[in-house]
Structure 1
């Protein structure tokens, strides 16, 4: 009986540690102020690499989302986002480590293999991430998925932390709030970042 209570205590402690780690990730902000000097290499997090490579796509297309308009999606119909802490000129990636677990990079195995539908192919390029993967960019902006978008055309990441935005076919960000009727309320850390840096 004592041993069972002891094991249960460890399980509860483990669950609490996991909850705190996820809370530190916040609603999805990926950095604090966008400083690239605070990025960490994703090799330290196996889950980050799995998330980033798990979002590989070979197609960018568009979809019409109520209240947002025309957005860019991957080949499976998942909404793609850009992050205000990144930059387009020059292209800079700021979302690594814990941030990348919640906001996996839209990656490809080869820039030439990305096809487009409804998007000017000349706006599509790539950037190398710290882990060596190739992230797709649109008009210079690195593209991401949101892990909480578990169905195609779900824009739950829209406006998270005031820094994550669905992207238009021209690479511009959509700042219209997403409908809140079906979207889960994102947790935030109150710092505006909370991406685990």
Structure 2
């Protein structure tokens, strides 16, 4: 059995009340930028384990002909090159984890989380395909803590992803993003939340800010909620510090990778809020048109 945990990445925030002086401005770029660090890129290289990356597959410039977006007839090796896990909503489930195509991911009550063990094999795995990744592959995370993501060796030798220790699966009858046809099947299958619990439709409670979070140096902004940079005209862009940086355009979710202060107006003016990690929907935090500027440092 193989399992790996790394440092936390949780959706945390708290109100910021200190006014800032001496704010200078610059504008956000228009092209997506990778959010991974050299440490993340090197992770797993020595032992062949998959590596965890902050941000979406697209913002990390993953090959969109492979991984979660590979054609159905693609070889297993091509499909297993990368997986995206994204905190989102699907049907009445909010939050729930979805993959790079937006398909709902599930957990199975007959599995175990401590230790992680999949008990869905054979015909079960045809109905409930396990979410697997190649050794040395990549896992992209938005809205999910790295500490809650791991891997378990299946009976057939494949590496299956776990969330909160629970092996995760797709449901063969789910065809479109937002489908939740697997919810409650047999009284044992449930959508999985970003921390591994059963997704039962209850609204999430916002946690407190992480006081130990260091300052962010780079923030990836998504024009769609739930880190959506793939549907319609949605896209992601990168903004870097230091100091006050103006945001041009409307961006509704973000991945900061540290502590950053959001301001409602350009020039770091108006109302402010400190966030320390991924935010699925800034409108819920009092920014109906997204932040007007960010302060790094």
TM range (shorter): 0.5 to 0.7
Are 1:118 and 2:143 an aligned pair?
yes
Match for residue 104 of structure 1 among 129, 133, 148: 129
Where do residues 9-28 of structure 1 align in structure 2 (5 Å cutoff)? Answer: none
**Secondary structure at the counterpart of residue 156 of structure 2:** coil
Work out the CA distance in 1 between the residues paired with 2:97 and 2:181: 14
Gaps of 5+ in 2: 1-72, 202-297
State which structure, 1 or 2, has the greater radius of gyration over its C-alpha atoms.
2
Where do residues 148-167 of structure 1 align in structure 2 (5 Å cutoff)? Answer: 148-167=173-192
Gaps of 5+ in 1: 1-49, 177-197
Match for residue 60 of structure 1 among 72, 82, 85: 85
Give the conservation status (yes or no) of the 8 Å contact 1:55–1:104: no
Select the structure with the greater relative contact order (CA < 8 A; seq sep ≥ 6).
1
Where do residues 36-55 of structure 1 align in structure 2 (5 Å cutoff)? Answer: 53=76
Give the conservation status (yes or no) of the 8 Å contact 1:55–1:105: no
Displacement of 1:160: 0.3
Partner of 2:152 in structure 1? 127
**Secondary structure at the counterpart of residue 200 of structure 2:** coil
Work out the CA distance in 1 between the residues paired with 2:79 and 2:109: 20
**Secondary structure at the counterpart of residue 103 of structure 2:** coil
Work out the CA distance in 2 between the residues paired with 1:64 and 1:174: 10
Select the structure that is richer in strand: 2
Using a 3 Å threshold, how does the CA distance of structure 1 residues 157 and 64 change in structure 2: closer, same or farther?
same
Deviations 1:69-95 (A, max 9, x none): 111011111100000000100111100
Match for residue 166 of structure 2 among 124, 129, 141: 141
Displacement of 1:175: 3.4
Select the structure that is richer in helix: 1
Match for residue 117 of structure 2 among 92, 108, 113: 92
> More displaced, 97-106 or 66-75?
66-75
Which aligned segments of 4 or more residues in structure 1 are displaced greater than 2 angstroms? 53-57
Two-structure CA RMSD over aligned residues (Å):
2.5
* TM-score in terms of structure 2 length: 0.40
Displacement of 1:112: 6.2
Count of residues in correspondence between the two structures: 128
Displacement of 1:114: 0.9
